[in-house]
């Protein structure tokens, strides 16, 4: 397909809004893998979504919950990439320049995620208890006084407006930072870093508010009687941890296929491993703080969240989350050696990515089946389907431009970075 046809196709614009500059990249930074490599994850994604579609036909209620789990997992990767890029610009970080194109490419996933989120909007009546109008009718036997008090916020029109606003903010900041970075590959304009810091400063404040409220609306409102003021931080911590794991895996894959073998050094992996370890601990700290405050307060509307996850088999899943998401990675990532032994670090990253999905599963699935713990086929197929499409779009975008911000003024410092 010609470049002109691609540019005129709205679908391709959603995936990558810029003209390909891969051929203009320095030979050291050019994508050299097969240009059709993205078709493998796409095939896996389509197969997973086809299997999930069978679930939608046979049991639409379960399908929507399984789909939301996979979609929230992909959203967490994009959110983690968003904050990583912003922080690097604001701190004028030098060490990360050589690997920054990975999260820059990943954060331009919000338009695609908005399209993939349409089934969630169609399934709102199944997912969100507060969409049932009889709950707000005082004459109804199902009248819920607690929800009636939240009707001004928890109503479908306002929910849709808020979600649209979240994606507009994420997309706008991501678009600005992504396009400025690609433009810099061929135009070493000294004003570009200043613009990147400007939009990063705007995006940090807006992103913090938007991400917190998105976590409240999309995930916490599944159980509308429950609330936690730090749930947004909980979602952010898991998202930032996940982007570290994804960046390590993408970097290892590139080097295995002959790209950036000299540019990305073990010192970069060690710093990424430090972030992975740090945010594993931070996630556990926020999770424990949330649990401890709710346990100490002992308010029924708060404790119900953990009660549903401590009985009927869900206690086993909770134990797996505790061990798999914190205790095990904490032990194995504690030493310096684990961050410099790259095959081992890669395996841990695969584990942590799986644990992030499991965390989304643990947050969402008990809302549907609080009386019976289960992990079904459609939970897995929806995850693989959405992640496959998400990964294919990333690989397509990534192959079209230089693999690093090749004219960033701090690139030389990143290439010569050493971790003492």
Domain residue spans in the chain?
33-405
* Dihedral, 368, 370, 372, 373 alpha carbons, nearest 10: 80
Instruction: Indicate the helix (H) or strand (E) that contains 233.
Output: helix 231-256
Beta-carbon-side half-sphere exposure of residue 80 (alpha carbons within 13 Å): 25
Asked if 368 contacts 62 with a C-beta cutoff of 8 angstroms, the reply is yes
Q: How far apart, in whole angstroms, are the C-alpha atoms of residue 359 and residue 262?
A: 35
Asked if 414 contacts 31 with a C-beta cutoff of 8 angstroms, the reply is no
pLDDT category at 220 given cuts 50, 70, 90 is very high
Phi-psi region of 174 (alpha: psi -120 to 50; beta: other; left: phi over 0): alpha
pLDDT category at 6 given cuts 50, 70, 90 is low
pLDDT category at 11 given cuts 50, 70, 90 is low
Measuring CA to CA, which residue among 420, 393, 408, 411 is closest to residue 37?
A: 393
Q: How far apart, in whole angstroms, are the C-alpha atoms of residue 54 and residue 17?
A: 33
Helices 60-90 & 342-368 angle (0-180, nearest 10): 130
Give the mean model confidence (pLDDT) for residues 28-40. Answer: 85
Residue 180 Cα to chain centre, angstroms? 22
Tell me which residue has tokens 């897995």.
Answer: 380
Q: DSSP letter for 94, please.
A: S
Tell me which residue has tokens 């399908």.
Answer: 63
The predicted structure's pLDDT at residue 420: 67
The predicted structure's pLDDT at residue 316: 96
Long-range contacts of 30-38, Cβ-Cβ distance < 8 Å, separation of 24 or more: 30/402, 30/403, 31/259, 31/398, 31/399, 31/400, 31/401, 31/403, 32/257, 32/258, 32/259, 33/257, 33/259, 33/399, 35/399, 37/395, 37/399, 38/391, 38/392, 38/393, 38/395, 38/396, 38/399
Residue 365 has pLDDT above 50, yes or no: yes
Give the mean model confidence (pLDDT) for residues 144-155. Answer: 91
Asked if 66 contacts 119 with a C-beta cutoff of 8 angstroms, the reply is no
Residue 103 Cα to chain centre, angstroms? 11
88: tokens are 């690097």
279: tokens are 């945010």
Q: Rank 77-86, 144-153, 257-266, 291-300 by mean pLDDT and report only the highest.
A: 77-86
Measuring CA to CA, which residue among 281, 274, 267, 287 is closest to residue 244?
A: 274
401: tokens are 């431009």
Asked if 288 contacts 298 with a C-beta cutoff of 8 angstroms, the reply is no
Residue 381 has pLDDT above 90, yes or no: yes
Percentage of the residues of the chain whose pLDDT score is greater than 90: 78
Give the pLDDT confidence of 285-331 residue by residue, as tens digits.
999 999 999 998 888 878 889 999 999 999 999 999 999 999 999 99
Give the mean model confidence (pLDDT) for residues 70-82. Answer: 98
Give the pLDDT confidence of 163-215 residue by residue, as tens digits.
999 999 999 999 999 999 999 998 888 899 999 999 999 999 999 999 999 99
Asked if 98 contacts 407 with a C-beta cutoff of 8 angstroms, the reply is no
Give the pLDDT confidence of 228-283 residue by residue, as tens digits.
999 999 999 999 999 999 999 999 999 999 999 999 999 999 999 999 999 999 99
Q: How far apart, in whole angstroms, are the C-alpha atoms of residue 78 and residue 389?
A: 14
Q: How far apart, in whole angstroms, are the C-alpha atoms of residue 244 and residue 257?
A: 20
């Amino acid at each position: 397909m010609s470049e002109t046809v691609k540019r005129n196709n709205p679908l391709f614009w959603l995936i990558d809004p810029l003209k390909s500059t891969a051929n203009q990249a320095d030979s050291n930074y050019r994508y050299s893998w097969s240009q059709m490599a993205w078709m493998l994850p796409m095939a896996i994604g389509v197969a997973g979504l086809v299997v999930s579609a069978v679930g939608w036909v046979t049991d639409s209620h379960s399908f929507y919950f399984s789909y939301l789990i996979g979609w929230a997992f992909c959203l967490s990767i994009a959110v983690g990439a968003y904050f990583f890029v912003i922080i690097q610009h604001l701190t004028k970080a030098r060490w990360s320049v050589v690997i920054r194109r990975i999260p820059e490419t990943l954060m331009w996933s919000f338009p695609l995620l908005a399209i993939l989120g349409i089934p969630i909007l169609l399934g709102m009546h199944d997912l969100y208890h507060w969409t049932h109008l009889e709950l707000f009718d005082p004459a109804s036997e199902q009248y819920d006084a607690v929800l009636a008090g939240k009707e001004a916020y928890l109503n479908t029109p306002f929910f849709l407006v808020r979600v649209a606003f979240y994606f507009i903010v994420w997309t706008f900041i991501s678009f600005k930072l992504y396009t400025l970075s690609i433009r810099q590959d061929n135009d070493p304009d000294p004003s570009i870093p200043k613009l990147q810091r400007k939009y990063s400063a705007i995006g940090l404040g807006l992103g913090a508010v938007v991400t917190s409220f998105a976590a409240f609306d999309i995930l916490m409102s599944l159980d509308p009687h429950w609330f936690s003021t730090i749930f947004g931080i909980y979602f952010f911590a898991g998202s930032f941890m996940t982007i570290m794991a994804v960046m390590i895996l993408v970097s290892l894959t590139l080097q295995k296929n002959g790209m950036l073998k000299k540019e990305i050094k073990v010192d970069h992996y060690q710093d990424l491993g430090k972030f992975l370890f740090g945010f594993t601990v931070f996630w556990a700290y926020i999770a424990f703080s949330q649990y401890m405050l709710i346990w100490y307060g002992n308010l029924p509307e708060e404790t119900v969240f953990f009660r549903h996850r401590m009985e009927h088999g869900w206690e086993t899943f909770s134990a797996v989350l505790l061990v798999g998401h914190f205790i095990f990675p904490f032990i194995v990532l504690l030493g310096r050696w684990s961050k410099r032994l790259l095959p081992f670090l890669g395996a841990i990253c695969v584990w942590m990515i799986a644990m992030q999905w499991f965390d989304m599963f643990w947050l969402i699935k008990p809302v549907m089946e609080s009386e019976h713990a289960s992990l079904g086929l459609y939970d897995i197929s929806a995850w693989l389907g959405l992640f496959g499409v998400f990964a294919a779009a990333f690989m397509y975008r990534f192959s079209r431009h230089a693999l690093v911000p090749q004219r960033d003024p701090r690139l030389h410092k990143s290439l010569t970075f050493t971790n003492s």
